[in-house]
Structure 1
Amino acid sequence: MDAGADRPTPTPASEAVQGVLDTVRRLVGEGGCAWHAAQTHESLAPFLIEETSEFIDAIERELPPEEIRGELGDVLYQVLFHAVLAEQRGEGYDLASVARSLNEKLIARHPHVFGDRGYMSVEELNAEWEQLKEDAAGEERGSRAPLEGIPAGMPTLARAAKVVERLKRAKLVDPSAAERSAEDPLSAAIGPAEAAMAEVGIGDAMLALVIRANAAGVDPDRALRLATNRLAARVAVNDG
């Protein structure tokens, strides 16, 4: 039996997307909403973060599908808002060009789906994607640093996780290693016990550190940000 036989048929989205795009254009345009007209990409950035966080929260709380749909709609609104601002202010792109560029990139980054590469494992895909990024940027193969492209403005914990994952892929750190030397930049942060900790235990340990930071008058976000920077700098020196 076809595994997809019971799946609902996707609804064409072009008409619905065009409708909400026209609504946002009306809000931003002349004679529309004064608040919308006053916004910039910079002023909207906090709203994009907030709406994305609310969408993630809805998923994690396993809210009903209609509520998750509403939160995802709020994220889409932010995407449309930025696209319409760029369109109406002559910044060189609009929703159509954003969608075209995205589609081209997705197809180019997945030759195993849209080309003739055939099946690839997750490990092979990670290596392939880095090479494809280099090709797209006109860079020499192997020239991209492991941490290149990680936004400095990412939330601190998310950035720390991204840095560790990138370094792990590059085989510059091994978070799962049980035995560590004093020279290992991760030795003070990850011991043998942590490797086996469940999600709840890790969360409790992180919260305990936040409580400890509060007692010491330390900003935990800044502390983690600086520690991530130190790790990145040490690995860069050792790799060089």
Structure 2
Amino acid sequence: MADSQLQRLVEVMDRLRSPGGCPWDAEQTHESLIKYLLEESYEFIDAIETDDRAGMREELGDVLLQVYFHSRIAQDHPTDPFSIEDVAGAIADKLISRHPHVFENLEVSGTDEIIENWEAIKAREKGRTSAIDGIAMSQPALPLVAKILYRAEKYNVDLDLNSYSSEKATEKSVGVALASVIAWAHENDIDPENALRAQAREMIRQIQASEKQA
């Protein structure tokens, strides 16, 4: 049933994008759909957090639509086309490659080693040599900084940041502290997103400087 419905979605998407289909769908580009991909993802997260099962099913379908929509647009590229089959094949190959403990019977000690293996395989596949390679700079500043911190820790790079290790960190206390900093920024007419993004760029500069010295 799943395969037939997935194929049905391919056929529906193809009809919408083909001559005689929907003019709006035919006009869309990867760029014009970016906002919808973000919106649908956030709406799916909202459904998860409210335990809305019907909403999860609907919003996950909207996210899936974006994958199919982008893949159908990609088929029309004049020099480098690809289809939903290419997308699915690539991710299946990636999952097999990055799970040798499942598909190659590699023995691992636990989830920590699984994550280490995943990162090592990914770095090898993509030819990554820097801690910042592959970080999505267009993501919001908060997850961007979190990713930079994660990579710095993985690559053993020390960053020059204020330490709050003397204070007890809980989800509530961290949330209060973050909200206070955002309020402080607003009181001083500073955009906290831009301020944090500027700090992210400084952290990247520190990592790059450290790597040049290594």
When the two structures are superposed, what TM-score results if normalisation uses the length of structure 1? 0.81
1:145 and 2:118 matched: no
Q: 1:15 to 1:120 in 2, by over 3 A?
A: farther
1:220 and 2:156 matched: no
Superimposed CA distance per residue, residues 36-78 of structure 1 (whole angstroms, 9 cap, x where no aligned partner): 1110001111110111111112112222x11111111110010
Give, in whole Å, the separation in 2 of the partners of 1:85 and 1:235. Answer: 37
1:158 and 2:143 matched: yes
User: Contact 2:108–2:114 (CA<8 Å) still a contact in 1?
Assistant: no
Superimposed CA distance per residue, residues 103-124 of structure 1 (whole angstroms, 9 cap, x where no aligned partner): 0111011111111212343332
User: Contact 1:163–1:232 (CA<8 Å) still a contact in 2?
Assistant: yes
Matched residue, 1:233: 205
Matched residue, 1:86: 74
1:99 and 2:72 matched: no
Q: 1:216 to 1:160 in 2, by over 3 A?
A: same
Give, in whole Å, the separation in 2 of the partners of 1:234 and 1:60. Answer: 36
Structure 2, unpaired ranges of 5+: none
The structure with the largest helix share of the pair is 2
Superimposed CA distance per residue, residues 83-135 of structure 1 (whole angstroms, 9 cap, x where no aligned partner): 11112445421001110111011101111111121234333233322332243
1:207 and 2:191 matched: no
Matched residue, 2:160: 185
Q: Relative to structure 2, which stretch is displaced further, 82-91 or 207-216?
A: 82-91
1:74 and 2:49 matched: no
Which SS does the other structure have where 1:43 is aligned? Answer: coil
- Aligned-CA RMSD value: 1.8
Which SS does the other structure have where 2:20 is aligned? Answer: coil
Give, in whole Å, the separation in 2 of the partners of 1:201 and 1:237. Answer: 33
Q: 1:135 to 1:238 in 2, by over 3 A?
A: closer
Give, in whole Å, the separation in 1 of the partners of 2:28 and 2:113. Answer: 43
Which SS does the other structure have where 2:157 is aligned? Answer: coil
User: Contact 1:29–1:88 (CA<8 Å) still a contact in 2?
Assistant: no
Which SS does the other structure have where 1:78 is aligned? Answer: helix
Give, in whole Å, the separation in 2 of the partners of 1:170 and 1:27. Answer: 47
Which SS does the other structure have where 1:35 is aligned? Answer: helix
Give, in whole Å, the separation in 2 of the partners of 1:89 and 1:170. Answer: 38
Superimposed CA distance per residue, residues 143-194 of structure 1 (whole angstroms, 9 cap, x where no aligned partner): 6111210011111111111111111222324xxxxxxxxxx612x2x31245
Matched residue, 2:29: 40
Q: 1:171 to 1:121 in 2, by over 3 A?
A: farther
User: Contact 2:10–2:68 (CA<8 Å) still a contact in 1?
Assistant: yes
User: Contact 1:112–1:120 (CA<8 Å) still a contact in 2?
Assistant: no
Which SS does the other structure have where 1:171 is aligned? Answer: coil
Structure 1, unpaired ranges of 5+: 1-11, 174-183
